[in-house]
Structure 1
């Protein structure tokens, strides 16, 4: 068994590897605002649940699937997400992840993912999630 000091050291090492930053949001509450020009309600602003360090860990094998409707085809990719243990307990499936910075892969900046599942473990050094993104849709 590990001591509390060892677990704290493992968690600090895991956080040191989180060189990216992301923002995680959930749908806002309330009615939103009425657009006076269209007379349609705009959705309420999304609520920020977490903003801070994150990373997409290496995965053993890529997981992607295709979907199509008519002449349009989409690629759905699944990725892991790692967050620090602190301040992330409220992150849950159906929330949105927006990549803000990516030190080693600038192409990730601006990408948006949806959290699909939480990975549970009893001796966690980082909080892990599964997330998906959809690319394509054009013909």
Structure 2
């Protein structure tokens, strides 16, 4: 009987917890680089109103960025950006962890007006 009560208590504790969900920029775009470099990864994002814009360094055109903008509603489809490297929808970050989570669904607001990520291959612009 005690294991059953403990199991139910644990279930209720986990089931009633508040969890956040954020809309997130995809980590890397589809621009084909090389196997050794991988794809260009998220450098920074901006958020204004109900639009999040994700910026990726361009390998094809060094010193420039590719960008993909996503807006509500309907699961945050891409509303601007090239189909060659944009994902069709913004992702979901179920823990709202930095740094690719521009929009917090729970509060219906931007987490900030911009955020720098600079991970992985996002430093490709600095290559000589």
Report if TM-score (shorter chain) is over 0.5: no
Query: Which of the pair is proportionally richer in strand?
Result: 1
Which structure is richer in relative contact order (CA contacts within 8 A, separation 6 or more)? 2
Range into which the TM-score falls when normalised by the shorter chain: under 0.3
Query: Which of the pair is proportionally richer in helix?
Result: 2
TM-score (norm 1): 0.26
